[in-house]
Amino acid sequence: MAKILRNGIVLLLLLTAVTGVAYPLAVTAVAAVLFPGQANGSVVERDGKPVGSSLIGQSFTTPGYFWGRPSATTPGPDNAAASTGSNLGPTNPALAEAAKQRIAALRAADPGNAALVPVELVAASASGLDPEISPAAARYQVARVARARGLDVAKVQALVDEHTQQRQLGVLGEPRVNVLALNMALDSVAR
């Protein structure tokens, strides 16, 4: 019996060392060597200072910036430590009310825009952290951003086109625009 207990303890310690220490360290080291940017959070820097991550959305609410997808994270929007959806079902009145408030905010920021509001500017995603919007959602905001910054609409649209990423390998996913990258490009134009 003592021999079986000793073998069990040795196996427990060995597997703990391999799967709890050695394997995570090896995976982290390989990731740091092969994918240093992603392994360190895909941090985006400006003038040597971190301004965000290319993989996590940020809340932009002023008219001179493109707005990303709404976030249902708590206690505030785009909280990476609390990635979650709202868990509100389609018949929940709170979901309809939140959508109405978001549409009203978009209309108030750009009263002359009579176009249909793209759904991703109204509905939060499952993670609540989407860093990207569709080209249609970006186009919806072009006139507002151009007016707020005193820029030509064509120049702002050209920035959207320049920052539109196509489908991966031509077939995977949908075309998308990273909101942080687009807003940083806008700031560079305004400098």
Q: Tell whether omega for the bond before 75 is within 30 degrees of 0, i.e. cis.
A: yes
| Total domains present in the chain | 2
- Whether residues 90 and 112 share a domain: the answer is yes
- Whether residues 19 and 105 share a domain: the answer is no
- Whether residues 75 and 120 share a domain: the answer is yes
Span between the terminal Cα atoms of the chain, in Å? 76
- Whether residues 159 and 73 share a domain: the answer is yes
Give the integer Cα–Cα distance in Å for 128 and 123: 10
Q: What is the pLDDT of residue 110?
A: 94
Domain span at 33: 1-40
Helices and strands, counts by H and E, the chain: 7, 5
Give the integer Cα–Cα distance in Å for 159 and 22: 46
Q: What is the pLDDT of residue 160?
A: 97
Residue segments in the chain with a per-residue pLDDT below the cut of 70: 190-191
- Whether residues 13 and 99 share a domain: the answer is no
Residue 8: count other Cβ atoms within 10 Å of its Cβ.
Answer: 10
Q: What is the pLDDT of residue 83?
A: 78
- Whether residues 17 and 90 share a domain: the answer is no
Give the integer Cα–Cα distance in Å for 128 and 114: 27
Say if CB 51 and CB 187 are below 8 A apart: no
pTM here is 0.81
- Whether residues 113 and 145 share a domain: the answer is yes
- Whether residues 13 and 75 share a domain: the answer is no
Say if CB 64 and CB 149 are below 8 A apart: yes
What are 144's two structure tokens?
Answer: 């507002």
Q: What is the pLDDT of residue 161?
A: 97
